[in-house]
Every structure is written in structure tokens, then in C-alpha cells.
């Protein structure tokens, strides 16, 4: 009796030790990042102003604002979404609503996993070979956006598929039983109930696309341009590449400038991500069946 | 006789007709099928297009021996260009290796804490935090390496330059850790609760349950998490371009600057003429990267799928 | 020439046989249903006449639900379900149709587990008319009100037609499902233990509606309440352990004039 309880005490101690150890690891993982974010805000916060966001860079990019880069990023992201969202949603509809459980479906899944896993610089090479050269788009917003669209396609497919999967099968069968075709069922019952989940995935994709640099370096984003893009066949500046340029390629940049650019970029990405997460949590709390 | 005739008229015997909706359904089915196989088309497309661009080099200037065994990457030498990627492989391997040393214990520890110890709001909060960490763009990480880690390393270790294996390894480790954490946590979550309950019923304590039951059961998923993290580190471009020091060099210590395969492409592609041997050599590195990451992802997928079946 | 000759002869043949009987809505020949090779129902032969209520009684696992599923081609939803034999609906072999959706739109089904679609109550009932191409609001309003009234649900939901059908109570969802089936204006209505989640008073109201509906459609009523079959069905089939034991005029079966002793034993509650 006594021996057993002393064993219990020992076990409790070991357990607490492990709990603290693992907690420490979690904290050590998180804390440096928080310190880094704090530094970014501390060093870059002061430069951020209305003018910084909405004026052109001046003096060989050592002064002025980031407006063309900001606008260019919006262009690139918007065109990439136009391409990848319809394609990704359709692919997810195929996988969840039509595809059987067989080797062919597994092959598609493997392709999706690999599409997400191929290094971004390899996607860039593909973009150069396919869109810039073979299809003749040149270095343009179109080429950069299509490259990014293919790269982030898995994000849309996976999140859409998950929200389609969350719609119970019984709803589909009830619909089919009334004589609805597969497509009528998808359009009237499945998609309307998955649309908010899909939207969550799209916001996540926006955040991914905003931050990508390597895939657009050689396909459409320019170091510096004295004009704003007029169409998708123009080159553009982009925020992510602008950070790389002012941090490494331009001599004599005041220290707070790249910090400011980094802060704007990370804020855009994290805000998008937070919206996506908040939206997801809100949806989880809202019962529709 | 009259009875059957009334039946055919009143009961709409000819209901069996293909209407517009039937054809729309078929067309949509064909369309989503094409979208469904697009991922396969793109993967093949990536391979084909980078191979086309790199093909000239593979035919003419490529020597297996030189490419993989020479440590001299001097493509712009006009008299005797040399295309050896050994040093670049060493650069990628050293940085990725160090990143894994940093990331594996922390991400597995964090996954265990989040999955097995933390509850309720803490758990939810940590998961969100991990997800946000995973979202930080690589160019921002590269900038952090350049502007925060660099002076820090110079100060702490008293070395002349802080852009080296250590810097990039830590940066890459911090980048890979959130992804590994969330995949590893998924793997732990996939272990059925009845395993834990059975072990607890036998009188095992929490940590015994974790070490003797949960971790062995989640072994494959955890291995998959590590592999995917490795794949991510291996393929990372901007961060290693900015934080490694970008010198072609087989590192002797963590304080040596190196250059990674991915970073080489990113740094040099803009300066080469389309179709030149140098340009084609960069695409050949791309083919190599594609094949390696393909194998890593395939292995990870097979391992993870292995547990699902079992 | 030869073919045409054959056709004519076989047609006149079938006319000869059916002319003496009442018109058949549904003919089932040698129907066998199995799940992953395990038979759930074997060798069923029966026919359902137009404008009758055809009852199916029997204990659990007799194959009643599988029978209904096969009539609506629900075997296409589930790869493990396989159906062999011939089923003719309005004279057409349902395994050889050009448009399976048209078949399902002519058949209304209500299963014991109610499924209110995650649409508004109004849209649940208006969905099928919309699929048929009815767009006018007034026409839809009229259909929705009529179907919900017939399903004894109108009074409870008429003030909240815009709330979600999937959030109604079980009994209400059951009646919503009935209203939805009626909104198809089907040739054939199949009900599988529809009263399982519905209170007795409402059940009686729906039963009265079914008697009325007989004028417009054929009804197959699967029930575990033998008295319900007696109240409603013109003819009744008794299913037992994957076999159709017998089919007869309901009153005959209930008064012991059936061919098989097991039928009477079941009706009298000796087993099941």
C-alpha cells in the first residue's frame, strides 16, 4: 500500500517534469518568433505612414513609398486567384463528388501533394519555360500570376475538398432521390453549404500568394519600374520582391525602409491568415444541421 | 387492351427522355474531370518544361562526374566553365541538416504538448499561433536572417560575418518547425483514443501512455512530418538566398558561408542569356531539385498512407 | 422483318395477359438484392397496380427497405449494393433507362431517417418544382402550401418558412420529407415507416391524406405497424428474412385466408 503510493508520487513527478519539458519546447519555438516580430514592429513601425503606402519610391529606391509594389502585388494576387479558384474548386468537386476510391484518384492526390511540395524556384523555372517563353506571355503579370496559381492550386483544392466533405452524404442522396442530377445537387445543396469553407481557403491562398517571391522573380515582377502596370501583359513591381531588392540589392538604403516593407508584407499576410482562421472558427460555431 | 392504353397515356410512359439538365450534367462532369486531372497535367508539365529548357546542357556540356562530383561552380568562366554542384549540394545539405536538428525536437515536443497535454483554450490558441507562424513568407524570414540574426551572430560568437550555415539553419528550422508541428499533431490525433484509454486502464501514467503507446502508434505519421519538413527546407529559396552568405563552399564549420542549390538558380537566372549553357545548367539543377523533392514527398506520402491502412 | 414479326407477336401476347388484369404500375421479376455478395432479398416476383396502396409488412431485416431502394435505383449511390432481376416501371425496364434522373423525379420516397435539406423550409419543398423548371413565385407558393398542408406541417411552419429545414425537430423533418416527396408530384410514392417519429394524431391525419392521394398516384407503404397496413393497403406483401413470403388482398391476409401460415403468425404477433 505504502510502496504503491510512493510510486504514484514518483510517477506524478515524472509526468509534471515531462509536461514542463514539452511546454518549454513549445515556448522556445514560439518566443523567438515573437521577439522577431517585435523587432520588426520596433524598427519598421516608425516609417509606416499614409505617404509610405501611397507614394512612389524615390532616389533609387532609398526613399519614398511602396505604392507601385503594393499595387503590383494586388494585381498579381487577383489574377492568380481568377485562375486558381475556379480550377481548384472544380478539381475539388471532381475529387469529392465524382471520383471513386481507386488508384487513379490516389494518383491525382499524389500529384496535388507534389505540386505543393515542389520548390518554389522550380515553379519559377516552369513559369519561365512555359508561360514566359513557350506561350509567349513574356515577363508579365499574366505569367507571374499563372505560375503562382499553379503553385497555390493545392491550397484551394484541399480546403474546398474539406468543406465539401463536411456536407453529409444524406443531403446528396435526398436530393438525388428527388430526381436531381449530380450537378443540380452540387449547385443547389452541396456548394451553397460549402461556400464559406471555400472562402476560408481562398483567403488562405491570398495570404500565401502575397508572400511568394521566387516564382515571380523571373516571370513578371521587376526590381524597379517607373510606371504602373496597365494590363496583365505588363511587368510590375511586387511587395515581396521589393523587400528582397531594398534589403540586398540597393546600396545606401536607410535601415528603417526595409523593416517598414517587411512589416507591411507580414501584416498583410498575417491579417489575411487571421481572417481566414477567425472565419473558420465562426463557421464551426454556427450549426446548419 | 383499353386498360394498357390508358396506362401509357396517363402515366407518362415516355418519361425516359434525355433533357437539357441531363446534358448539362454530362458536360459538367467532363469539365470537372479535366480540372481534376489538372494537377497531374501540371506536374508532368513542370517536368517537361524544365527538361526542355535544360535539355541542351544535358546533351552537350553535361558530365555526370563533373556535375555531381566537382566542387567548382564556375559557369561564367569564359575559357573553361565548370558546372559542379557538389558544393551547392553540401550547402543545401548542411543548412537543411542544421535546420532539422533545430526543428525536429522542438516541433515534436510542441506537437506532444499541444496534442496530449494542452486542453481547451490553450490548445486552440497554440494551434492558431503555429498556423500563423507557418504563414510568414520566406522573403521575410530571409530578411530576418539578414538584418536581425546576422548582427546577433557576429556579436555572440565574435565572428566577422554572420551570414552562414548557422544563420540559415536556424532560420530554416524556425520556418519548418510550425509545419512539422501541425503535421505531427495530426499524426498524434490520428491515434485512436481507445489506445490511450486501454493503456490508462492498465494503470499507466500520462507520460507512459505517450511514450509507450501514442508515440509508437504515431511513428509513421511523425516520420512523414519530419520528411515533409525536410522537403520544405530543401526546397526553400529566398530565406537561404539571403541568410547563407551565398559563397560556393563546402563548409568546415557552422560559421562558414555556403550557397544552396535553390539560391543559385534564384541569384543567377536573371543574369544568364536564354538558351546559354549557364541558363541550361540552372534548369538542370531544377530537374535535380524536382526529382529529389518528388522522391521525398512520395516517400512521406507512402509512409503516412501506411499508417492509415494499418 | 423477322424482328418486327416477333415484336408484334410478343406484344399481342402481353396485351392478352394484361388485358384481363388491372394495369400494372410496377412489375418486379426475379429481383435479388445483395450487399457485397450477401443477399438481402432474393427472388422477389410481384406487381403493383396503378392507384392502389400496396403495403409491405415484415420484421426487421426482411429486405423491405432494400426493396424500395432498388425501385429508385439507389444502388447507384452505393457500390456495395447490387441488384439483379427485372423491374418495370410504367412498362420500362428501369435498368435500361436513358435518363435515370427522370425516373427518380417520378418516384417520391420517404425514409425512416428524415433528412431536412440545409435550405429554408420553403426551398426544401420548392426545390423539386424548381428542378422541373417552375419559376413563377405564385406557382411555387401554391405548391409549397399545398404540400406542407398535406404533410400536416403547414400550420406549424407557415410563419417561419425561411428558417432552415435541417434544424426542425425529427418529427417535423419527417413531415418535411413527406412534403418534399409530394412536391415532386410523383407517379409513385414510397413511404418507409413514415410514422416512426410522428405522433399518433398527426399520423392519422397523414393516413387520411394518403387515402386521398390514391386518386392521383400509386403508393407503396412499408410499415412495421401491421394495423396501419390493414387500415390503408389494398393489397399487402409479407417479407421475411429476405424473401417475399406472399402477396394478397390485405383483408384476406388479416382474416387468415393467406396461403402461408407464417403471414398470419406475424400479423397476430407470434414473432417479429
**Which residues have a Cβ under 8 Å from the Cβ of C141 and sit 6 or more positions away?**
none
Question: Which positions in chain A touch B144 (Cβ < 8 Å)?
Answer: 36, 40, 262
Q: Grid coordinates in use for B214? A: 501514442
Question: Which positions in chain A touch C113 (Cβ < 8 Å)?
Answer: 170
The verdict on residue B199 lying in a domain is yes
C47 strand-pairing partners: C27
According to the model, what pLDDT value does residue B258 have?
95
More confident residue, B10 or C159: C159
For A248, the closest chain B residue by CA position comes to: B242
Domain residues for the domain of B174 are 88-261
The verdict on residue B166 lying in a domain is yes
DSSP state of B113: I
Distances (CA, A) of A231 to A76, A140, A222, A234: 11, 9, 15, 6
CB contact under 8 A, C104 and A179: yes
pLDDT band, residue C1 (cuts 50/70/90):
very low
Identify from B8, B9, B11, B19 which residue to disrupt to test chain C contact, counting C C-beta atoms within 10 A and taking the largest count: B11
The verdict on residue B13 lying in a domain is no
Alpha carbon distance B286, B272 (integer Å): 15
What's the pLDDT tens digit per position in A10-20? Answer: 777 888 888 88
CA distance C162 to chain A (A): 13
Facing C99 at nearest CB: one of B7, B12, B18: B18
B117: enclosing H helix or E strand: none
**Residue C20, pLDDT above cutoff 50:** no
- Say how many domains are in chain B: 1
Q: Grid coordinates in use for A25? A: 519546447
Identify from B48, B143, B272 which residue to disrupt to test chain A contact, counting A C-beta atoms within 10 A and taking the largest count: B143
CB contact under 8 A, B33 and A98: yes
CA distance B121 to chain C (A): 28
According to the model, what pLDDT value does residue C11 have?
42
What backbone torsions phi and psi does residue C188 show, to the nearest 5 degrees? -130, 130
**Residue B7, pLDDT above cutoff 50:** no
Question: Which positions in chain C touch B12 (Cβ < 8 Å)?
Answer: 90, 106, 187
In this structure, the answer to whether residues A20 and A154 fall within a common structural domain is no
Q: Which chains touch A (3 or more CB pairs under 8 A)?
A: B, C
For A180, the closest chain C residue by CA position comes to: C101
**Residue A7, pLDDT above cutoff 50:** yes
Question: Which positions in chain B touch A186 (Cβ < 8 Å)?
Answer: 28
**Residue C200, pLDDT above cutoff 70:** yes
Rg over CA atoms, chain C: 19
**Residue C119, pLDDT above cutoff 60:** yes
What's the pLDDT tens digit per position in B23-49? Answer: 999 999 999 999 999 999 999 999 999
Assign C9 to helix, strand or coil: helix
Give which of B246, B243, B252 is closest to B73, Cα–Cα.
B246
**Residue A132, pLDDT above cutoff 80:** yes
Question: Which positions in chain A touch C119 (Cβ < 8 Å)?
Answer: 188-189, 192
pLDDT band, residue C2 (cuts 50/70/90):
very low
Identify from C102, C127, C128, C165 which residue to disrupt to test chain A contact, counting A C-beta atoms within 10 A and taking the largest count: C127
C21, burial (CB in 10 Å: exposed 0-12, middle 13-18, buried 19+): exposed
Alpha carbon distance B67, B89 (integer Å): 11
pLDDT band, residue C253 (cuts 50/70/90):
very high
Facing A269 at nearest CB: one of B137, B144, B265: B137
A188 touches chain C (CB under 8 A): yes
Alpha carbon distance B96, B190 (integer Å): 28
Alpha carbon distance C211, C217 (integer Å): 10
CB contact under 8 A, A177 and C177: no
Q: Grid coordinates in use for B220? A: 509513421
C174 touches chain A (CB under 8 A): no
In this structure, the answer to whether residues A38 and A113 fall within a common structural domain is no
What's the pLDDT tens digit per position in B211-220? Answer: 888 999 999 8
Q: Which chains touch C (3 or more CB pairs under 8 A)?
A: A, B
Give which of B172, B140, B148, B180 is closest to B262, Cα–Cα.
B172
C11 touches chain B (CB under 8 A): no
In this structure, the answer to whether residues A7 and A106 fall within a common structural domain is no
Give which of C202, B18, C239, C142 is closest to C134, Cα–Cα.
C142
For A210, the closest chain B residue by CA position comes to: B137
Calculate what percentage of chain A has a pLDDT beyond 70: 98
According to the model, what pLDDT value does residue A15 have?
80
**Residue A98, pLDDT above cutoff 60:** yes
pLDDT band, residue A226 (cuts 50/70/90):
confident
Q: Grid coordinates in use for A192? A: 451553397
Determine contact, residues B68/B85, Cβ cutoff 8 Å: yes
**Residue B14, pLDDT above cutoff 70:** no
**Which residues have a Cβ under 8 Å from the Cβ of B78 and sit 6 or more positions away?**
none
CA distance A87 to chain C (A): 26
The verdict on residue B2 lying in a domain is no
Alpha carbon distance B38, A86 (integer Å): 12
Buried b (16+ CB within 10 A) or exposed e, B83-113: bbbbbbbbbbbbbbebbbebbbebbbbbbbb
CB contact under 8 A, A171 and C117: yes
CB contact under 8 A, B4 and C92: no
For B4, the closest chain C residue by CA position comes to: C23
Facing A189 at nearest CB: one of C77, C119, C177: C119
For B40, the closest chain A residue by CA position comes to: A111
CA distance A97 to chain C (A): 11
Alpha carbon distance A154, B292 (integer Å): 20
What backbone torsions phi and psi does residue A236 show, to the nearest 5 degrees? -150, 165
Q: How far apart are the first and last CA of chain C?
A: 56
CB contact under 8 A, A188 and C127: yes
Total count of residues recorded for chain B: 310
Give which of B165, B184, B180 is closest to B133, Cα–Cα.
B180
Alpha carbon distance A218, A224 (integer Å): 13
CB contact under 8 A, B13 and C92: yes
**Residue A272, pLDDT above cutoff 60:** yes
In this structure, the answer to whether residues A33 and A84 fall within a common structural domain is no
Question: Which positions in chain C touch A186 (Cβ < 8 Å)?
Answer: none
Domain residues for the domain of A66 are 51-285
What's the pLDDT tens digit per position in B102-112? Answer: 999 999 999 99
CATH of domain C21-50+64-222: 3.40.50.300
Question: Which positions in chain A touch C74 (Cβ < 8 Å)?
Answer: 173, 176-177
CA atoms within 13 A on the CB side of A88: 31
Question: Which positions in chain C touch B19 (Cβ < 8 Å)?
Answer: 99, 102
ipTM: 0.90
CB contact under 8 A, C131 and A179: yes
CATH at residue B94: 1.10.3720.10
Find the mean pLDDT for residues C183-193. Answer: 94
CA distance C190 to chain B (A): 16
CA distance C107 to chain B (A): 11
**Which residues have a Cβ under 8 Å from the Cβ of C215 and sit 6 or more positions away?**
C51
Q: Find where cell 514592429 sits.
A: A41
**Residue C22, pLDDT above cutoff 60:** no
According to the model, what pLDDT value does residue A283 have?
83
Question: Which positions in chain A touch B227 (Cβ < 8 Å)?
Answer: none
What's the pLDDT tens digit per position in C67-97? Answer: 999 999 999 999 899 999 999 998 899 999 9
Facing B1 at nearest CB: one of C19, C103, C187: C19
Find the mean pLDDT for residues B50-79. Answer: 88
Determine contact, residues B214/B184, Cβ cutoff 8 Å: no
In this structure, the answer to whether residues A175 and A66 fall within a common structural domain is yes
CB contact under 8 A, B293 and A114: yes
What's the pLDDT tens digit per position in C208-244? Answer: 999 999 999 999 999 989 999 999 999 999 999 999 9
In this structure, the answer to whether residues A11 and A84 fall within a common structural domain is no
CATH at residue A116: 1.10.3720.10
Alpha carbon distance C192, C65 (integer Å): 7
CB atoms within 10 A of CB B282: 27
Mean pLDDT taken over chain B: 89
Facing A107 at nearest CB: one of B40, B148, B236: B40
| Single pTM value for the model | 0.89
> How many beta-carbon pairs under 8 angstroms link A with B?
263
CA distance C188 to chain A (A): 12
In this structure, the answer to whether residues A142 and A30 fall within a common structural domain is no
CB contact under 8 A, C119 and A170: no
Question: Which positions in chain C touch B4 (Cβ < 8 Å)?
Answer: 15, 18-19, 23
Pairing of strands A63-64, A57-58: antiparallel
For C170, the closest chain A residue by CA position comes to: A289
Determine contact, residues B241/B267, Cβ cutoff 8 Å: yes
- Say how many domains are in chain A: 2
According to the model, what pLDDT value does residue C15 have?
41
C residues 123-152 closer than 8 Å to B (CB):
131
The verdict on residue B241 lying in a domain is yes
Find the mean pLDDT for residues B49-55. Answer: 93
**Residue C9, pLDDT above cutoff 50:** no
C102 touches chain B (CB under 8 A): yes
- How would you write A118-184 as a 3-class SS string? CCHHHHHHHHHHHHHHHCCCCCCHHHHHHHHHHHHHHHHHHHHHHHHHCCCHHHHHHHHHCCCCHHH
Facing C99 at nearest CB: one of B1, B4, B17: B17
**Residue B253, pLDDT above cutoff 60:** yes
DSSP states of chain A as a string?
Answer: -HHHHHHHHHHHHHHHHHHHHHHHHHHHHHHHHHHHHHHHHHHHGGG-SHHHHHS-EETTTTEE--HHHHHHHHHHHHHHHHHHHHHHHHHHHIIIII--SSHHHHHHHHHHHHHHHS-HHHHHHHHIIIIIIIS---SSHHHHHHHHHHHHHHHHHHHHHHHHHTS-HHHHHHHHHTT--HHHHIIIIIHHHHHHHHHHHHHHHHHHHHH--HHHHTTTB-S--SS---STTS-B--HHHHHHIIIII-TT--THHHHHHHHHHHHHHHHHHHHHHHHHHHHHHS---
In this structure, the answer to whether residues A15 and A143 fall within a common structural domain is no
C76 touches chain B (CB under 8 A): no
Question: Which positions in chain C touch B26 (Cβ < 8 Å)?
Answer: none
Say which range, A24-28, B25-29, C13-17, C164-168, has the weakest mean pLDDT. C13-17
Calculate what percentage of chain C has a pLDDT beyond 70: 92
What's the pLDDT tens digit per position in B148-179? Answer: 999 999 999 999 999 999 999 999 999 999 99
Amino acid at each position: 500500500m505504502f510502496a504503491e503510493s510512493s510510486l504514484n508520487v514518483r510517477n506524478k513527478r515524472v509526468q509534471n517534469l515531462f509536461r514542463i519539458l514539452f511546454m518549454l519546447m513549445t515556448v522556445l519555438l514560439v518566443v523567438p518568433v515573437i521577439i522577431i516580430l517585435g523587432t520588426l514592429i520596433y524598427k519598421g513601425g516608425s516609417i509606416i505612414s499614409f505617404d509610405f503606402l501611397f507614394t512612389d519610391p524615390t532616389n533609387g529606391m532609398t526613399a519614398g513609398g511602396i505604392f507601385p509594389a503594393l499595387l503590383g502585388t494586388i494585381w498579381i494576387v487577383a489574377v492568380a486567384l481568377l485562375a486558381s479558384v475556379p480550377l481548384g474548386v472544380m478539381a475539388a468537386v471532381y475529387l469529392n463528388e465524382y471520383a471513386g476510391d481507386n488508384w487513379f484518384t490516389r494518383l491525382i492526390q499524389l500529384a496535388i501533394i507534389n505540386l505543393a511540395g515542389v520548390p518554389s524556384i522550380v515553379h519559377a523555372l516552369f513559369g519561365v519555360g512555359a508561360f514566359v517563353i513557350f506561350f509567349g506571355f513574356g515577363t508579365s503579370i499574366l505569367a507571374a500570376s499563372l505560375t503562382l496559381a499553379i503553385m497555390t492550386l493545392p491550397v484551394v483544392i484541399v480546403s474546398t475538398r474539406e468543406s465539401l466533405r463536411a456536407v453529409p452524404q444524406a443531403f446528396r442522396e435526398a436530393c438525388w432521390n428527388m430526381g436531381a442530377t449530380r450537378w443540380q445537387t452540387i449547385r443547389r445543396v452541396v456548394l451553397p453549404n460549402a461556400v464559406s469553407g471555400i472562402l476560408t481557403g481562398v483567403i488562405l491562398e491570398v495570404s500565401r500568394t502575397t508572400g511568394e517571391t521566387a516564382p515571380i522573380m523571373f516571370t513578371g515582377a521587376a526590381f524597379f519600374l517607373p510606371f504602373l502596370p496597365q494590363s496583365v501583359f505588363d511587368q510590375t513591381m511586387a511587395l515581396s520582391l521589393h523587400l528582397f531588392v531594398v534589403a540586398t540589392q540597393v546600396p545606401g538604403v536607410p535601415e528603417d525602409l526595409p523593416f517598414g516593407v517587411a512589416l507591411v508584407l507580414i501584416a498583410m499576410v498575417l491579417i489575411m491568415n487571421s481572417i481566414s482562421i477567425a472565419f473558420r472558427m465562426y463557421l464551426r460555431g454556427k450549426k446548419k444541421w | 387492351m383499353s386498360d394498357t392504353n390508358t396506362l401509357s397515356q396517363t402515366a407518362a410512359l415516355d418519361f425516359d427522355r434525355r433533357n437539357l439538365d441531363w446534358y448539362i450534367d454530362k458536360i459538367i462532369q467532363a469539365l470537372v474531370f479535366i480540372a481534376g486531372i489538372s494537377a497531374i497535367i501540371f506536374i508532368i508539365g513542370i517536368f517537361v518544361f524544365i527538361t526542355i529548357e535544360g535539355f541542351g546542357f544535358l546533351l552537350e556540356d553535361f558530365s555526370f562526374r563533373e556535375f555531381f562530383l566537382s566542387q567548382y561552380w564556375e559557369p561564367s568562366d569564359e575559357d573553361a566553365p565548370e558546372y559542379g554542384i557538389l558544393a551547392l549540394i553540401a550547402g543545401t545539405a548542411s543548412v537543411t541538416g542544421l535546420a532539422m536538428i533545430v526543428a525536429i525536437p522542438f516541433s515534436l515536443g510542441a506537437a506532444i504538448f499541444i496534442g496530449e497535454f494542452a486542453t481547451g483554450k490553450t490548445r486552440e490558441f497554440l494551434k492558431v499561433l503555429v498556423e500563423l507562424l507557418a504563414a510568414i513568407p520566406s522573403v521575410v524570414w530571409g530578411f530576418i536572417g539578414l538584418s536581425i540574426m546576422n548582427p546577433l551572430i557576429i556579436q555572440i560568437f565574435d565572428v566577422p560575418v554572420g551570414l552562414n550555415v548557422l544563420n540559415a539553419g536556424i532560420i530554416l528550422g524556425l520556418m519548418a518547425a510550425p509545419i512539422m508541428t501541425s503535421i505531427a499533431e495530426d499524426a498524434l490525433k490520428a491515434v485512436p483514443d481507445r489506445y490511450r484509454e486501454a493503456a490508462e486502464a492498465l494503470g499507466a501514467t500520462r507520460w507512459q501512455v505517450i511514450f509507450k503507446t501514442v508515440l509508437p502508434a504515431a511513428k509513421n505519421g511523425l516520420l512523414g512530418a519530419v520528411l515533409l519538413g525536410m522537403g520544405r527546407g530543401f526546397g526553400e529559396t529566398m530565406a537561404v538566398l539571403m541568410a547563407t552568405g551565398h559563397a560556393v563552399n563546402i563548409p568546415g564549420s557552422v560559421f562558414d558561408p555556403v550557397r544552396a542549390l535553390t539560391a543559385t538558380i534564384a541569384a543567377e537566372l536573371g543574369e544568364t542569356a536564354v538558351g546559354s549553357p549557364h541558363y541550361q545548367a540552372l534548369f538542370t539543377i531544377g530537374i535535380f531539385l524536382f526529382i529529389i523533392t518528388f522522391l521525398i514527398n512520395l516517400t512521406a506520402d507512402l509512409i503516412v498512407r501506411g499508417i492509415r491502412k494499418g | 422483318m423477322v424482328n418486327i414479326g416477333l415484336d408484334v407477336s410478343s406484344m399481342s401476347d402481353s396485351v392478352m395477359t394484361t388485358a384481363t388484369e388491372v394495369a400494372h404500375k410496377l412489375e418486379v421479376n426475379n429481383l435479388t438484392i445483395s450487399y457485397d455478395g450477401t443477399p438481402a432479398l432474393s427472388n422477389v416476383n410481384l406487381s403493383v397496380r396503378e392507384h392502389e396502396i400496396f403495403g409491405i409488412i415484415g420484421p426487421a431485416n426482411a429486405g423491405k427497405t432494400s426493396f424500395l431502394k432498388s425501385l429508385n435505383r439507389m444502388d447507384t449511390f452505393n457500390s456495395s449494393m447490387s441488384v439483379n432481376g427485372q423491374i418495370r416501371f410504367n412498362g420500362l425496364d428501369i435498368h435500361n433507362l436513358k435518363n435515370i434522373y427522370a425516373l427518380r423525379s417520378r418516384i417520391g420516397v420517404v425514409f425512416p431517417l428524415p433528412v431536412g435539406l440545409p435550405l429554408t423550409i420553403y426551398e426544401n419543398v420548392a426545390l423539386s418544382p424548381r428542378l422541373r423548371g417552375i419559376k413563377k413565385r405564385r406557382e411555387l407558393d401554391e405548391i409549397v402550401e399545398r404540400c406542407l398542408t398535406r404533410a400536416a406541417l403547414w400550420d406549424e411552419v407557415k410563419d417561419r418558412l425561411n428558417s432552415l429545414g435541417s434544424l426542425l425537430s425529427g418529427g417535423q423533418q419527417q413531415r418535411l420529407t413527406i412534403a418534399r416527396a409530394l412536391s415532386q408530384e410523383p407517379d409513385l410514392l414510397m413511404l418507409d415507416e413514415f410514422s416512426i417519429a410522428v405522433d399518433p394524431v398527426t399520423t392519422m391525419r397523414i393516413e387520411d391524406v394518403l387515402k386521398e392521394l390514391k386518386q392521383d398516384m400509386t403508393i407503396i407503404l412499408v410499415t412495421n405497424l401491421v394495423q396501419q397496413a390493414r387500415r390503408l393497403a389494398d393489397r399487402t406483401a409479407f417479407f421475411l428474412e429476405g424473401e417475399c413470403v406472399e402477396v394478397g388482398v390485405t383483408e384476406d391476409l388479416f382474416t387468415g385466408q393467406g396461403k402461408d401460415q407464417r403471414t398470419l403468425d406475424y400479423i397476430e404477433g407470434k414473432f417479429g
